[in-house]
Structure 1
């Protein structure tokens, strides 16, 4: 319950906390049926149908046919180990996703015990009073008690035009409205305009959307581009594995003269060595846990696919208010053509300025949600307290909202005379001046005043008042309101300037973006001079050029793209302008992350590569359209998310490189002995043993790898740069080939020296296990020598090394296990060959690292 305020002005109290808790316990949470976590049975079934398990079964069957029951049982016992590891990984991933689901659950503003509380939508119960505002997603089926709303019900009806909602005139009117839903709002629909108070009468599966079915709940998120590429790769390598395994069997049986069953074991071992089953695990675990890690930075991931895009962001398009600034506005200055007044240090407010403040308050809702409007009401109640200029409780007859055509809003009030109405207006100074039909001289003077205020970083509003006679209206009926605010006559009262100081952490965060090659572009509806002043204060840009909404409309797409290459500040924008700017940046090759909070920001948030909604002041519509939601509206948290996105991207690439590097020697040791008429070096049981090390290395060690020192000192990677591209895999393939050549060389020397096959196998397998650790270390940080420890250690690396040591000690020191694995004790000379392989492997890996670094520095 993150938000609290005073009692709603309608005087309703709502449920008590005790009543709400009792109803929640009785009726259950307010949520539709969702995707249940995978059951243990489902996970086990998936494991049993995987190609690797089917190969284990085939290998076990061959051992049984050979009469080696011990080997067969030992091999098949690994199935339970694989199932255990899979269960742990699945549960870990599921916990991360459930944590994100809890965070991303819709929230609702309700009245309880007479105060407004922001609670999770799942905690809404029947009888709750919902406070509904523009952009809110309705938490349950409810009856509107007060206010007027327009609601998007397309989810239920398919009708794109918002439905008007208003409360019943009286209980006696219920029969007249029995066949309509004009006083009802429904769960999952969105308020597009207005405010209101509604009482919930149905939740969860009893709502209209709940009765329709669970299609939304069972909708699966499509795989990300990276996941799609990985699936194609695994499928291709799987087919290659089957083809080579078949060739291996034929070569061993028909050419090398091995028995058929021995050849089948070699073929199965080769297929198991070639299958890169770790790749899907890497992406599933890394993206899910990456989203969870980003949530720890106060950024909620609504779409897991956004995690992989974060690492490629090159342009960050941000609003000014609440993102770069504190969003804690206060009226700082007032100005009329003849008088300028500053709040700082003032003791009294001159009488001449009272009308300006009075009409600014009348042009503002009495219980506002917007921080700027809150500041206006707070200022008026502070400085006009006890005067006749405060009109609390006075409700307008009609209101004209801010629109794309007129950047001003007008509230119309009744007077004592039936057809006489008062008008209170505030908005952009130039828009209000236009409504007041000021002459050229007054406009020029006003422009100079506005620029003087805006250049100090103040947000400037114009205020006006007017009168209107509703001609032709019959008694007791509302007049025919004009279609536009331009149809009224207004008197310009003056300017109100509000201060919203920059967030203290923004300059450092912008500096990080600059060093990371991420360009920050401000997109604001404020005056160009205000945008320029704030940009100067936070270090966003030294370029003075500002692109305004009016200028943008006059540019064609090509000219706009060219202009944006040299412009960091965009001001006086309307929502449609933001969408076009995002599209222009993307068309120019940028990967765009964009922030937004309003209903009208939703199209631009959807169009961006990564839409980021404000969680504190944002609307539900913006949050639904966005891929990320800031739990705290801070620019620094956006930069932290980009940093985490780059870390996740780096670790996916490290793990992928390791998979390819480690599989090369395994494949070579399974394939080459057949070609050279050697005894088999790696059997299926050895492959499974290696997989039990490789899987945790990918899903645990590399996922926990700390970020590199240069994470935010290098440009973003190209969005189409795949970790599976050949260019990215050349070095790991070379690493694996070098290790494979050294291991095969050691085996050739041992064979020439007369060591038995089981002894040679023990040395080669033991050395390969240690080489797995070397290959892990080789992928971690290409800027550091192989055997130099990193400043930020990986907490899972030591347990991994300990596991390798225990495994080596067990398989070489326990006779029964040693015999089951076809190994035999070897002398010091044989292990000396293994030690030599390790030394030469370090030299090989370090040499490749230095060559790669030299090439990078030469670019």
Structure 2
């Protein structure tokens, strides 16, 4: 196939050019290399403390201990880099998905591909709302205009006309349609030469991140203060400044909360990756934390609640009404031929809109080989739908004819207004439209007009002398899963609000089928006539809004937000972008949505499916719940580390922990938090609870109290057992091995009750994931190795444990499960008592 043919590039040639010339990217890599990640690890406080401890061991002449500690440094660095790499891979996949999509012609077929796969010579099809993926020359244009402000700074749209019209990568199509042959991609585009880059997905400032930063800062201050205090006490009580500094470093390593920000980023990134598998693209990671707070879900009707598979179901013309769903080919009665003829003429020649496709399908089966189809006519002028007039018109020219033909379609009341119908006929049209709408049909009015070819075209549609033709009712079946999903939202305390441009009766009928309850229906005209106070009262009670214009969606979102609601909202058009951006969570339709809507949104549905929105909300709730449990666990396991570093110094006992022991514990804590808790399915009733309040912190006083209580239980058990063994004359090396084993085992056992906030023994085992089993198993095997094998136990200062000592360790560590559960019950009762007061 000739690459220059209008059918577009041959797919094989396109694939070869992609290999030869590379992807359509600007050449600015935002992906961090392994070296960059390693450099970040080297600057971490934990790494610096480990290196400092190793240097002290060398100064003390203990090169063997220093080398072992260095080995742990390498292991921790490798695990951290792998963890970062995993997170980076997740974000990179999201960046690829969130890049602009392109509609191209290849081999005569229309394909939707990622913008990065566009190659030089591709033929692009552009429409209103598209982001132009590459520089190109116009082949066809119909009222095409682009916003080039990102290149020129000029806010006015730039009309694009033949011949020699050009479009540029990164600009936005604000009106019209066009066909473009790509002349430059990536760094060779105008955008690439200027040196700008595409938007990226990143973790911006958010309440959750700010809360985490505050908690981290407080713990760092406490850690530094205790480190200085312990070093001073050690030097005063025991002497030896190097040993004192080493003890202080050990305590600082035990307190530093370096896991907290890492855990948060890993949780959000992996949640976004899991949502992408469910066909929900997260463009802003902060949206995941907000999802769990969603209290109002505003959805449009077509394509979200319904299947977006329009079919003409009913026709009304010349005083007759016809149900078309049982028609056989070529059986449409003559009185309805003109109605379908003008419905097609008022539609695009190659439509993308499901309604217009339905008109073309019906005409293809019923009007074939009749005088009502006009492939030889030329579309000379198009009058667009506008917020002021919900109708559009096409002016057609047949060469040699004295009159042009004008076809209009739109909201029945708008088309009736164009026709200047008398009041009696308007009432009749309104009654017919209402009867169709009560069946859940989307109703459009159709009109026709003539215009002398030699005269100038009017500027507005009202200047044509339109005649009424009839009504068309289109069926768009409700998605079968919608009623159950709406019921699930109701159980989850999420209010579902339908906002549509359809007739109020159509909206009410679909809402009834979906299970959306409402105190009446409010229209766009109603909204326009309301002041702020009246609108606030109406949005509190009404869940169905019909005949709503795009700019009125913004008013509805702001009214809901003013009442303290957390609003998620769907949209697909250019004019939906302000409302999507204003909503707490903007949700763009990936299939029928425009690039403008996708870029304004926080989430993009790769499949326009209502159920995937609710799945995303569930994922947001689950991620937040798991993150909270991980944080409670992390704080709890640091308490006994601090106790074992501090108490032996205060009571004159041999030290148990050294930097090497802290490094081993870090290898236990990080996988437990990042792998075990992130993989948890969460409580079964997550979607039976009301949305989380915006004022609710990640860690409340009750959560911190639970962490301190559970950590205190482990501390008491470990220190008490250690002191008791020493008192009985057990060697310090064996006593410390038992104490350390109980510490690790206690932390492992604590994972079980920490997986859920619910009380009861059953929750300890229900839903235990394979990841939990692997982490717990690996922890116990590693503990067994360092306390039983002389080669590994010697660096830790341990003597291999006898069977009786192992049994004692297992008994003490396992028995902690009972007080762990008791502490959850106690804190839960205290919290419930505080709420009741």
Partner residue of 1:557? 532
CA distance in 1, matches of 2:288, 2:595: 21
Which residue in the other structure is 2:115 paired with?
A: 121
Q: Describe the superposition over 1:99-137 as per-residue Cα deviations: whole angstroms up to 9, x where unpaired.
A: 222222222111122222222222211211111111111
Q: What is the 5 A alignment of 1:529-548?
A: 529-541=505-517, 543-548=518-523
Shift of 1:855: 6.1
Q: 1:727 to 1:485 in 2, by over 3 A?
A: farther
Equivalent position of 1:35 in the other structure: 29
* Corresponding residue to 1:761 among 736, 742, 766: 736
2:222 matched to 1:235? no
Deviation, 1:37, is 2.5
The equivalent of 1:398 in structure 2 is 381
Candidates 569, 580, 588, aligned match of 2:555: 580
Q: Does 1:493 align with 2:469?
A: yes
Instruction: State the alpha-carbon separation in 1 of the partners of residues 85 and 814 from structure 2.
Output: 39
The counterpart of 1:205, out of the listed 182, 187, 195, is 187
Partner of 2:541: 566
Match of 1:160 among 146, 155, 163: 155
TM-score, normalising length: structure 1: 0.93
Give me the TM-score of the superposition, normalised by structure 2: 0.95
State the SS of the aligned residue for 1:205.
Answer: helix
Q: Quickly say closer, same or farther: Cα 1:828–1:260, change in 2 above 3 A.
A: farther
Q: How does 1:252-401 map to 2 (within 5 A)?
A: 252-254=234-236, 256-336=237-317, 338-347=319-328, 348-401=331-384
Q: 2:85 matched to which residue of 1?
A: 91
Equivalent position of 1:505 in the other structure = 481
Q: CA deviation at 1:742?
A: 2.4
User: What residue is the counterpart of 1:595 in the other structure?
Assistant: 570
- Please identify, of 129-138 and 407-416, the stretch whose mean Cα deviation from structure 2 is larger: 407-416
- Distance in 1, Cα, partners of 2:388 & 2:9: 42
The residue that corresponds to 2:105 in the other structure is 111
Instruction: Give the Cα–Cα distance (whole angstroms) in 1 for the partners of residues 272 and 360 of structure 2.
Output: 40
Contact 2:201/2:283 (<8 A) preserved:
no
Q: Are the structure 2 counterparts of residues 788 and 124 from structure 1 closer, same or farther at C-alpha, using a change threshold of 3 Å?
A: closer
Alignment partner of 1:662 is 2:644: no
Q: What is the aligned partner in structure 2 of residue 184 from structure 1?
A: 166
- Cα deviation for residue 381 of structure 1 reads 2.0
SS of structure 2 residue aligned to 1:811: helix
Matches of 1:63 and 1:25 in 2, distance apart?
54
Whether the 8 Å contact between 1:459 and 1:526 is mirrored in structure 2 is yes
Label 1:220 to 1:781 Cα distance change in 2 as closer, same or farther (>3 A).
closer
Residue deviations 1:304-324 (CA, integer Å, cap 9, x gap): 222222222111111100000
DSSP-derived class of the 1:463 partner: strand
Once the two structures are TM-superposed, the CA of residue 662 in structure 1 deviates from its matched residue by: 0.7
> Is 1:685 aligned to 2:680, yes or no?
no
Shift of 1:793: 2.5
Deviation at 1:856?
A: 7.2
Give unpaired runs (5+ residues) of structure 2: none
CA spacing shift, 1:525–1:11, aligned 2, 3 Å: farther
SS of the residue 2:238 aligns to: coil
RMSD of Structure 2 on Structure 1 (CA):
2.2
Determine if contact 2:137/2:183 at 8 Å carries over to the other structure: yes
Alpha-carbon deviation of 1:293?
Answer: 0.2
Shift in Å at residue 745 of structure 1? 2.2
Q: Deviation of residue 457 (structure 1)?
A: 0.5
Q: CA offsets per residue over residues 620-664 of structure 1, 9 Å max, x none?
A: 111111111111111111111111111111111111111111111
CA shift, 1:289, in A, is: 1.0
Q: Is the 8 A contact 1:782 1:853 kept in 2?
A: no
Q: 1:600 and 1:306 mapped to 2: Cα distance?
A: 22
Which of 59, 82, 87 pairs up with 1:65?
Answer: 59
Give the Å deviation of 1:562. 2.0
Quick one: distance in 1 between partners of 2:14 and 2:373?
37
Q: Distance in 2 between matches of 1:261 and 1:857?
A: 49
How far does residue 419 in structure 1 lie from its aligned partner after superposition?
A: 7.3
* Partner Cα distance (1:544, 1:242) in 2: 59
CA contact (8 A) 1:315 1:590 kept: yes
- Give secondary structure in 1 for the equivalent of 2:395: strand
Q: How does 1:723-802 map to 2 (within 5 A)?
A: 723-783=698-758, 785-786=760-761, 789-802=764-777
In the TM superposition, residue 271 of structure 1 has moved relative to its aligned partner by 0.6
CA contact (8 A) 2:318 2:335 kept: no
Question: Counterparts in 2 of 1:566-645, with a 5 A limit?
Answer: 566-645=541-620
Q: Distance in 2 between matches of 1:788 and 1:437?
A: 69
Return the offset for 1:223: 3.9
Q: Distance in 2 between matches of 1:655 and 1:502?
A: 41
Q: CA deviation at 1:826?
A: 5.7
Distance 1:746 1:791 in 2: 32
Deviation at 1:56, TM superposition (A): 1.0
Deviation at 1:79, TM superposition (A): 0.7
CA deviation vs aligned residue, 1:480-511 (integer Å, no higher than 9, x gap): x4332222221111100000001111112112
Structure 1 range deviating more: 413-422 or 721-730: 413-422
Partner Cα distance (1:745, 1:495) in 2 = 86
